[in-house]
Amino acid sequence: MKIMVAIKRVVDYAVKIRVKSDKTGVETQNVKMSMNPFCEIALEEALRIKESGLASEVVAVTMGPAQSVDTLRTGLAMGADRGIHVESTGALYPLSVAKLLKALVEVEKPGLLILGKQVFLNASIREVGFVFLPVKLHCIVAWRLRILCGSVTFCHSRFPVKAIDDDCNQTGQMVAGLLGWPQGTFASKVVLDKENRVATVEREVDGGLETLSLDLPAVITLIESPNTLSNIRCNVQGVYDSYTILILLIFKIGTDKAECTDLRLNHPRYATLPNIMKAKSKVIKKFTPQELNVEIQSDLEVVQVTEPPKRKAGVMVSSVDELIDKLKNEAHII
């Protein structure tokens, strides 16, 4: 079986980002770029499946400008066998991403496709207040501690961003629709039955849990929770070889560092120097969207980004009596 992993190049999350002086976006010239940490997790997972003898090949895929190849090389240095680069400039919205993924699945027919998905945001409050990165496929959010402490002050209220496919929760459903596969979204538990080629998926829905049975191949999107990951870990190993199942690891925005560690499926390996050298000779195949018969649509444009309305400052009360009094006589709510 072959595993395909999508990886994305983003501004390194340790970098303090600067907004371009014309407010059209983020300075990416001479800024350190690296692989989205969630893609590293996805790739590591693929490599481990291969090492346990369940997969024969790991193919790393990236979509984006020419420089994305550097990130692909990093993936190859970690252990991926070969790379695919879909060259595309400009923002890729979920629809285009879904179309490209569908085309690649049809070309490569992987047994498994894994995406790490999260939106990457890097904020450096003192300098710029709030910064956005172009998001094309998937990224991660790295909150600075200051933000987590709730003391967010916006210095700029408006600047355009190039990305809006954050937290959209769309890519999986769209790929499923295009491929005509069944979908199991917001899954917290997946049990695969190799015999009958079905997946039993427990989904989190409004008001409870819903269980579905899906014919494979299927698209399954996972919700983040430590339980989900251990559930998946137990069940995904050793089951697929003759059919394609697509799993998107969906991590939501705003997962803080501590939670990230909790939620980590694994700890990605470092590329060693010999492997970096070896990676230079590994094959990277180039595709253009045209070659894959995909028309890149950009039918959404970001007009502006503003800060949400502020709540007025509250008061501290010193006793339950005072609290009840305030709720009664000031807020008139009880």
Partner 1 sequence: MQKAVQLSSLASTLVLAEHEAGFIKAASVSAVVAANSVSKDNSISVLLAGSGPSLQEAAAHAASCHPSVSQVLVADSEKFTYPLAEPWAKLVHLVQQRGGYSHIIAPSGSFGKNILPRAAALLGVSPVTDVIEILESNLFIRPIYAGNALCTVRNTGVDPCMMTIRSISFPVPPTSANSKSNVSPISQVDLSTFSEDSVGKSRYVKQTSQNTERPDLGNARVVVTGGRGLKSAENFKMLEKLAEKLGAAVGATRAAVDQGFVPNDLQVGQTGKIVAPELYMAFGVSGAIQHLAGMRDSKVIVAVNKDADAPIFQVADYGLVGDLFEVIPELLEKLPEKK
**Subset of 235-254 contacting partner 1 (CB under 8 A):** 252-254
Cβ partners under 8 Å of residue 305, min gap 6: 132, 158, 159, 160, 161
Q: What is the DSSP string of 160-199?
A: --S---TT---HHHHHHHHHT--EEEEEEEEEEETTTTEE
Indicate the residue among 64 and 94 with the shorter CB distance to partner 1.
94
Cβ partners under 8 Å of residue 164, min gap 6: 93, 135, 300, 302
Q: How far is the CB of 215 from partner 1 (least distance, A)?
A: 4
Q: Are 179 and 102 in contact (CB under 8 A)?
A: yes
Q: How far is the CB of 200 from partner 1 (least distance, A)?
A: 7
- Binding to partner 1 (CB under 8 A) within 70-89 occurs at none
- Binding to partner 1 (CB under 8 A) within 142-171 occurs at 143, 147-152, 161, 164, 166-171
- Binding to partner 1 (CB under 8 A) within 190-219 occurs at 200, 203-215, 218
Q: What is the DSSP string of 197-210?
A: TEEEEEEEETTEEE
Q: How far is CA 112 from CA 70, 186, 310, in A?
A: 24, 18, 45
Among 37, 83, 134, 184, which residue interacts with partner 1 (rule: CB under 8 A)?
Answer: 184
Cα first-last separation, the chain: 62
Instruction: Please name every residue paired with 86 in a beta bridge, in sequence order, or none if there are none.
Output: 63, 287
- Binding to partner 1 (CB under 8 A) within 250-309 occurs at 252-256, 262, 295, 297, 299-308
Q: Alpha carbon 123 to chain centroid distance?
A: 18
Indicate the residue among 110 and 172 with the shorter CB distance to partner 1.
172
141: contact with partner 1 by CB under 8 A? yes
Q: Are 9 and 70 in contact (CB under 8 A)?
A: yes
- What amino acid occupies position 163? A
Indicate the residue among 84 and 294 with the shorter CB distance to partner 1.
294
DSSP 79: T
Indicate the residue among 280 and 311 with the shorter CB distance to partner 1.
311
Q: How far is the CB of 238 from partner 1 (least distance, A)?
A: 23
Indicate the residue among 164 and 292 with the shorter CB distance to partner 1.
164
Site string (19-48) toward partner 1, x via CB under 8 A: ------------------------------
Indicate the residue among 273 and 320 with the shorter CB distance to partner 1.
320
